[in-house]
Chain A
Amino acid sequence: MTGDLVGAPVHRLEDAALLTGTARFTDDIELPGTVEAAFVRSPHPHALIRSVDSTAARNLAGVHAVFSHADLAPLLTRNLIPPDNPTLKFAESTRAVVLAKDEVCHVGEIVAIVLADSRYVAEDAVALVDVAYEVLPSVSDCRDALAPGAARVHRDAPDNVVATFRAEYGDCGPAFAAAAHVLPLSLRQHRGGGHPIEGRGIVARFDPATEGLTVWSSTQGAHRVRDALVVLYGLDETRVRAITPDVGGGFGSKHIVYPEEVVVAGAALALKRPVKWIEDRREHFLAAIQERDQYWDIEVAADADGRLLGLRGSMVHDQGAYTLLGFNVAHNATLAVPGPYLLPNYRLDVTIAATNRVGTIPVRGAGYPEGTFAMERAMDAIADELGADRAEIRRRNLIPADRIPYELPLKARDGSTTHYESGDFPACMEKALESAGHDRFAERQAAARDAGRYIGMGVANCTKITGRGPFETGIVRIGPSGRITVHTGAMAMGQGIKTAYAQICADQFGVDPGAVKVITGDTGTVPMGIGGFGSRQTVTAGSSIHLASVEVREKALKTAAHMLEVSDRDLDLKDGTISVAGVPDLSVSLADVAKALSGAIGYARPKDMPPGLEASVNFLPTGLTYGNSAHVVEVEVDVGTGGVRITRYLVVNDSGRLINPTIVEGQIVGGVAHGIGNALFEWMGYDDAGQPVTTTFAEYLLPTAPVVPNVEIVHHETPSTVNPLGVKGVGEAGVIPAAAAVMSAIESALAPFGVRIRETPISPPRLVELIGEAKAGS
């Protein structure tokens, strides 16, 4: 590295606009002549659409149009959302449709779009659209969906199985036969929705003069939105531009191309005027993706010392009605199970079941919290069985530092095997335990119990795949103005990546990060892009931007050397000026170099350099990079109410080299809060038919300031060896082991009752019930 910005806790460049109210989110985009959209959505979990009569709605003053499937179908090349993971095979019946034609398969599925002068009038009109439904039998719970004779989620499907697969290595049979301990565990896991405070939203504008379609979407993947519109409306790539304005959080819920985005763009094409749709919170509950239920029936085998011999069993995953992004959540969950532990034999049979609920795709953590929860519950079960300390059992099973790099024959979806390239898992856990005062905790716990208080300490470890490829473009440009601009296909949605990218780039030019303008998520400036998910963008785009910056720097130095008639080895680059070492007056600015490289008519290029002071790099990672964390949590349980208070939270995190420790810590703390939500609060409820029962923030509880503790973070930096920056992704690191650690702490607090927790989330009524059951059983 050249400068000292990488690694510095630089204050964010994004903040000024956000703090003064001048940021521009999707709903802040006001184009003249815009009509606003509201959707007619299915009130039924499963029904046939007999007819759609929009006469009354169309006749309402201020209403411009109502489009149902019959109206938009002529514009569409097909009525199916393009699948995002082309290699995964799943039941065709669960392919997501753009607009329901004659069948709706979950509450909230869109039937028609209403376009009016304002959202107020659009909602008035929605109530006037008369849809005749014939209600069909439905299925809500994913285990029920697999039962013989279950109602079909899609009426034409032979059954409700979306896919089945097995994750396996080693041979569990002999390992279990020889084990000193075989412990069964039945787990019910639930994660809920993404719930960024800004919902989804899109503004679409068709310009007849250029035949161009521009959409501003609050999305985690502008390029995928563009590509979907190109395919579905038969348009030319060069005529469609997708831009992400400021995005108010994603957490997975903006990771896919949604039917709403396609329909709104279609309405703009049909009406030839701008159309805006801003998702309201109820729509987010009904129609934004979630990561919901998994039922795990597993058994773990251990030797007499508590060392893992194997883990096997089955898992049922609730996919909802549509497969919008393959079945990554279930797949990731299976990958996460071994985590940082030596697990010699492993077999998990997974069944993905369709249900009459909204589709599931990854929410922050993406299956890793579930796989981690399974393994960590197994660890605690072994410790309980042996009467051993929970940390000690983990200590015996963690992969020792000297076995890193470590390879597991478990395949990620790019076909690569699990390869922990760097890290020291035992050191991370020991650091966390030491900081938490684990060795003195038993004493404190005993004293508290004597005083009638129930405190507990829990520990959990995890690893996480980060930096998924295949690439993310980084373009660095310096124009004749001398200003440095970075363009990337990566998506900013609040993480602070613009600041991190500016640091990476500015380091090469000896300028302030504020001097670097970073533009993300605009298909008009970067032709290809993948998007923001899976803790990948600092690894992929960060590396590309780094390499592009280095290239531009070298080009600038070489060109300057030519201009100044010296060797480039004699040059310094600082504050945007290249000068001869020891002769500061002999210098050229980056602007001068950029001007020279922008060419003059008919003149030779300096030193035969390629034109333009710019570089575009697509860094291609040679492998995935794996971060890891150890969490230690202290809780106090009020056994009278079942209330859980988290009194201390400690994280030791290895995300490789830190670009900006402040931003990294923000990601970790935010992730922990999300994990606390998953552990104690967030529950997306449905009734037996599939009707959602938690559709407000008074029913679906997000963590608030009084229930989230301060999180103490210790960084353990082992640079990744598979990218030039040495970074590992961190966006999901905080959330993954959180629920497992909290449950471990609650069990520790309630050890006198022998309470065992096999589910997430755990509510106070349920804890009181478990305490009662444990008392009755003892």
Chain B
Amino acid sequence: MTGVGELPETRSVTLSVNGERHEIDVETRMTLADCLRRKLGKTGTHLGCEHGVCGACTVLVDGRSARGCLMLAVQANGAEITTVEGLASRGGEWHPLQQAFHEHHALQCGFCTAGILTSMVEFLGENPDPTEDEVREALSGNICRCTGYQGIVRAVLDAAGRLRARNGAIAP
């Protein structure tokens, strides 16, 4: 281990988070999740295991879901990051997933919720009309200890319908 006792190595990076550009200095060893939480105040992203299994810290990096605990902040230099804080519209209107989660009791303590929402944004983008089994498989990388997943599955299926209806008008 080098660096102990030395000043931490830092780098200047540019991150776009929920459409907002940030130029910051970060320690090169800092994870993306810690950077979002500590340096940028985006505390909606939560850390549940810090070894890449629970999925609570999942954010979208250039539209793709990724574990925030398994990426260094420096690796996100130049990337567009979406966190749970960026899911609602600028006017504050909730994303259909957020609305469906509320209506289907898809969260209890809510600690895992952010990572599930971001994962499902990507999933429904790729699979707009999933079956229940596909939703359950897509959820397999997110652990929820409270709900038993039932409300989450229902909410995702419902949100898929809402998104299809919303996009139907403009789809070819």
Binding site for B on A (CB under 8 A): 11-12, 14-25, 27-28, 59-61, 120-121, 124, 127-128, 195-199, 246-249, 251, 278, 280-281, 493-496, 662-663, 665-666, 669-674, 696-698, 702-706, 708, 710-711, 734
Contacts and interface: CB of A to CB of B under 8 A. Distances in A.
A19 B49 contact: no
B165 interface: no
Interface in B101-147: 101-103, 105, 107-114, 117, 133, 135-137, 139-140, 142-147
Ordered nearest first, which 4 A-B pairs have the shortest CB separation?
Answer: A21-B44, A494-B109, A18-B110, A248-B111
Interface in B140-156: 140, 142-153
Contact of A120 (B29, B45, B98, B133): B29
Contacts of B84: 19-21
Contacts of A61: 5-7
A15 B136 contact: no
A21 B112 contact: no
B48 A281 contact: yes
Nearest to A62: B8
Given A705-B152, A711-B148, A15 B143 contact: no
A670 B146 contact: yes
Most buried by A among B94, B135, B146: B146
B45 A21 contact: yes
B151 A696 contact: no
B70 interface: no
A673 B148 contact: yes
7 contacts: A27-B43, A670-B147, A671-B148, A698-B53, A705-B137, A710-B153, A711-B148
B58 interface: no
A696 B53 contact: yes
B107 A18 contact: yes
A197 B148 contact: no
Contacts of A703: 148
A9 B94 CA distance: 21
Given A195-B145, A196-B145, A666 B49 contact: no
Contacts of B7: 61
Contact of B109 (A24, A59, A247, A280): A247
Interface string B35-62: 0010000111111111101101000000
A665 B108 CA distance: 11
Given A698-B51, A702-B143, 17 more contacts: A17-B110, A18-B107, A21-B42, A22-B44, A27-B43, A121-B8, A196-B109, A281-B50, A496-B105, A663-B105, A670-B148, A673-B147, A704-B140, A705-B135, A705-B137, A706-B136, A710-B153
Given A248-B110, A495-B108, A705-B139, A60 B5 contact: yes
A25 B112 CA distance: 12
A673 B139 CA distance: 15
Nearest to A704: B140
A19 B102 contact: yes
A704 B139 contact: yes
A494 B140 contact: no
B134 to A, nearest CB: 10
Contact of A702 (B6, B107, B114, B145): B145
A21 B85 contact: yes
A248 B109 contact: yes
Interface string B91-102: 000100010011
Contact of A15 (B53, B102, B133, B135): B102
B4 interface: yes
Contact of B149 (A27, A59, A198, A673): A673
B25 interface: no
Nearest to B107: A18
Contacts of B146: 249, 494, 666, 670
Given A197-B111, A697-B53, A19 B117 contact: yes
Nearest to B3: A124
B17 to A, nearest CB: 12
Contacts of A249: 108-109, 111, 145-146
Contact of A669 (B88, B103, B147): B147
A20 B88 contact: yes
A28 B84 CA distance: 15
Contacts of B47: 27, 278
Given A19-B107, A666-B147, A705 B51 contact: no
Contacts of A663: 105
Contact of A19 (B50, B94, B143, B151): B94
B105 A665 contact: yes
Contacts of B149: 673, 704-705, 708
A674 B5 CA distance: 45
A281 B56 CA distance: 12
Nearest to A700: B53
Contact of A124 (B4, B49, B117, B137): B4
A321 B27 CA distance: 40
A711 B148 CA distance: 9
Nearest to B30: A120
Nearest to B18: A21
Given A696-B53, A697-B54, A11 B109 contact: no
Contacts of B142: 704-705
Nearest to B84: A21
Given A20-B88, A197-B143, A672 B148 contact: yes
B83 interface: yes
A494 B108 contact: yes
Given A494-B146, A698-B51, A248 B46 contact: yes
Contacts of A281: 48-51, 54
A25 B108 CA distance: 14
A494 B149 CA distance: 14
A697 B107 contact: no
Contacts of B49: 197, 281, 696-697
B120 to A, nearest CB: 11
Contacts of B109: 18, 196-198, 246-249, 493-494
A16 B102 CA distance: 8
A218 to B, nearest CB: 10
B83 A128 contact: no
Nearest to A195: B145
A291 B9 CA distance: 43
A654 B30 CA distance: 50
B140 to A, nearest CB: 5
Contacts of A247: 109
A697 B51 contact: yes
B148 A25 contact: no
B153 A705 contact: yes
Nearest to A23: B110
B110 A15 contact: yes
Interface string B146-172: 111111110000000000000000000
Residue of A27, A246, A704, A706 with most partner-chain B CB within 10 A: A704
Contact of B148 (A12, A127, A495, A708): A708
Given A60-B4, A196-B111, A249-B145, A669 B51 contact: no
Nearest to A677: B145
A246 B140 contact: no
Contacts of B147: 666, 669-670, 673
Contacts of B108: 249, 494-496, 666, 670
Contacts of B42: 21
Contacts of A199: 48
B131 to A, nearest CB: 12
Contacts of B140: 704-706
Contact of A18 (B103, B113, B136): B113
A246 B50 contact: no
Contact of A21 (B54, B83, B107): B83
A698 B50 CA distance: 12
A28 B111 CA distance: 12
Contacts of B150: 669, 708, 710-711
A21 B102 contact: no
A21 B148 contact: no
Contact of B143 (A23, A278, A704): A704
A679 to B, nearest CB: 14
